[in-house]
A and B are shown apart, each in its own frame.
Chain A
């Protein structure tokens, strides 16, 4: 790719503001009330953008951060927030039809728009808070035939070797470190960094910054093609969360099958008595505590 300029593309998405203006649900139609939606930048995408800006600041050679997003016209406001945060350039991919729920179709359209940019690194949020599918990052990589590392919390870029080293976040503090050549796609997980505060004067300063327009003419065809190849996934309705069914006793995997059975027969955690109180000699108390811990399977 380009010899001098290191190009980072950050895919962002606008999502309803869950914090200050939470969306309201129309329970009859099974969808959100249109007038209650106020859009902000997706949390995870802000992490990705922050990481891109930090990479740019750390690199000694020239580097450019481009944000790209797919959506209707008012999306430009969201992109200007990204510019205020520190992105060099913003690209708005126009959406002609109805709102697209399906992550893979969005990924296909974004991939089409990203391809001519000849970028070295693509960063995305792990998933959008709206659909929570987490398909866009992987989809973009798939359509561009690039390697993807998902759910990362640490990223090192080596320009000399043209490789990245990314740390994937797993459960219980476990991490997996992967290495792969550039260009590549990474999706960013919570815990990567803390996005910088955007002061109001920067927001005002970038209020009228131009946002490049890209129109993918054949987007309806792409959406149709993805739907026929990958199968349709339609949103039927949105509802309030149901009350979670009563928890079944779940013995830990550290028990043998026979012990698990015993645990389940006894009713497990539901039978536990609240408010046992121990007092007296420390040694005998602690003996009882250890017995309690052992009964519960903690030691």
Chain B
């Protein structure tokens, strides 16, 4: 090859026809690295129907989107997808390819790297491009205790970036993006791994550490039936029910649902604490949550100190009203649009 590879590629991950946050983060990082390298940001977008996602990719930094759209394409397959990605990457010879550090992103990147016969750097947190043309990647090692700097020498470099580390940049709505269609042969006959089923995550059975929204209850609920009451609120919000240690000790809830020092440490985006006074052992397990709403009758409850929104009152009066208002709120936008 006579030209030095310069372009930085991003593999676009999306769900329910919306780009995932991690894709937007990758675009920002790709933009920075491509500027440094003097190349372009290219995006590979694959799926059954992906046209709607092209312009948002441009807002966040993509210069060119390679669209691989085929109605026969499954949503993911551990043999078909890596083959297509490897095929596209071989013809375009990029400098660096960024994959989202999700389970599927890592799965794909790992397989692509073996097909391309290149190294793969998992869950990086930062990149440096020295003048040598190598890639220095900084990534966690030793059980996240230390960070290592690793040097790769042979481009294209493949790396995945853990979600939530870089942050999303401000979009530029005036940006336009070049489109290019990629035609690939879907090699169906060569599959040895067969898809059996895809099980969508159910918030009711979700592990607390993975949940985005947690509705937790304490001894203020008064009895095991209180949790069914909270479940109703959790279902409305698409959340998972959590519990404090006293309620777990009293067998109102199973141990897996315990939040706190002896249970699980959680960092959901929204944590609603109902009837929890806020013992330090509990607060230690949830204080890093994004938004905390605490409902308690005691105006001096320690939980209010960490709460973003403190609600003073009886949860048995507030929660039903809350469920009612949420339902009402959900009906409103549909009525407007109709």
Contact = CB atoms under 8 A, between A and B. Distances in A.
A88 to B, nearest CB: 28
A233 B213 CA distance: 40
B120 interface: yes
B151 A299 contact: no
B168 A278 contact: no
A133 B120 contact: yes
A237 to B, nearest CB: 5
A165 B140 CA distance: 32
A73 interface: no
Contacts of A286: 318-319, 321-322, 324-325
A230 B24 CA distance: 29
A279 B312 contact: yes
A76 interface: no
B146 A240 contact: yes
Nearest to A233: B119
A133 B113 CA distance: 12
B229 interface: no
B198 A177 contact: yes
A177 B118 CA distance: 28
A18 B144 CA distance: 10
B141 A132 contact: yes
Given A150-B110, A250-B168, A241 B102 contact: no
Contact of B193 (A134, A147, A290): A147
A172 B146 contact: no
Interface stretch (B64-72, B169-177, B178-186): B169-177
A286 B308 CA distance: 15
A25 B198 CA distance: 43
B173 A298 contact: no
Contacts of A287: 321, 325
A294 interface: yes
A80 interface: no
A144 to B, nearest CB: 12
B117 A290 contact: no
A142 B114 CA distance: 7
Quick one: which of A134, A148, A244, A253 has the most chain B CB within 10 A? A253
B254 interface: no
A69 B319 CA distance: 56
B54 to A, nearest CB: 13
A241 B140 contact: yes
Interface of A: 16, 18, 22-23, 25, 32, 104, 127, 129-135, 138-139, 142, 147-151, 165, 167-181, 191, 229-242, 244-245, 247-254, 257-258, 260-261, 264-265, 269, 272, 274-280, 282-283, 285-287, 289-290, 292-294, 296, 298-299
Given A22-B145, A148-B78, A174-B200, 19 more contacts: A18-B145, A131-B141, A132-B139, A135-B110, A147-B79, A150-B106, A150-B110, A172-B201, A178-B193, A178-B196, A230-B119, A233-B150, A238-B141, A238-B148, A253-B24, A265-B170, A276-B308, A279-B299, A298-B213
16 contacts: A23-B142, A165-B196, A173-B203, A175-B201, A232-B153, A238-B147, A239-B146, A242-B147, A260-B171, A277-B312, A280-B313, A282-B321, A286-B318, A286-B321, A292-B293, A299-B326
Interface of B: 18-21, 24-25, 56, 59, 76, 78-79, 102-104, 106-107, 110-111, 113-114, 117-123, 136, 139-154, 164-171, 173, 192-203, 205-207, 210-213, 236-237, 269-270, 290-291, 293, 299, 304, 307-314, 317-319, 321-322, 324-326, 329-330
